[in-house]
Amino acid sequence: MCSSDGRPRDARPPRYDDPWFDALASGWGESDVTVAPDTAPPAAADVYLEVQRSAAFQEVRSRYRRFALPTAAAFLTWYVAYVVTATTAPGLMARPVAGAVNIAMLAGLGQFLTTFLLTWAYTRHARLRRDRAALELRWDTQELTRGTKGGMA
């Protein structure tokens, strides 16, 4: 392989005695003494599968599904009802409510209002019922993968 100026590129592996090699990821500021573990660290894929099978992860996913699926179904039903009513009952949708405001305009604004309310409800639900547990899972996963490929030794 050649470099950008046409010279042959070295096929040598990088020098690990370079003090600046991967300085940020090498545990800068930590002690230089490392203790070799008795067993090899688990592979990252095994760690993630273990976390995925854990009760804590299943609880976080369950909380998400219990909120997101019914909410999405309700909003989709409300949207389809609005579109179907607008196409099949134009007389109903054109009925005036106050001045130039008719039922179709109120229902359309209701779609926007519903979107903002669902966004607020989703973020509140995530903050109160899932974020703390998900953060704990993230920390646990980082601790488990610390000795694996890509993690700090």
Asked if residue 33 belongs to a domain, the reply is no
Separation of alpha carbons 60 and 69, rounded Å: 14
What pLDDT was estimated at residue 17? 53
Can you list the pairs that 116-119 forms with residues at least 24 positions away whose Cβ atoms lie under 8 Å?
118/71, 118/75
Is 18 inside any structural domain? no
Residue 36 belongs to some domain of the structure: no
Domain residue limits at 75: 44-145
Is residue 2 domain-resident? no
**How high is the pLDDT of residue 140?**
81
Instruction: Check residue 40 and give its pLDDT.
Output: 60
- Residue 92 confidence (pLDDT): 92
Give the pLDDT score at 70.
Answer: 95
* Angle between helix 44-53 and 131-145 (nearest 10): 150
Residues pairing with 102 in the sheet:
96
Residue 15 lies in a domain: no
Q: How many domains does the chain have?
A: 1
76, part of any domain: yes
* Dihedral pair phi/psi, residue 41, rounded to 5°: -65, 155
Q: Is residue 24 part of a domain?
A: no
Domain assignment of residue 32, yes or no: no
- In the prediction, which pLDDT does 151 show? 47
Grouped pLDDT means (10 residues each) for the chain, 153 residues: 58 52 52 58 76 86 92 96 94 91 94 95 91 85 70 47
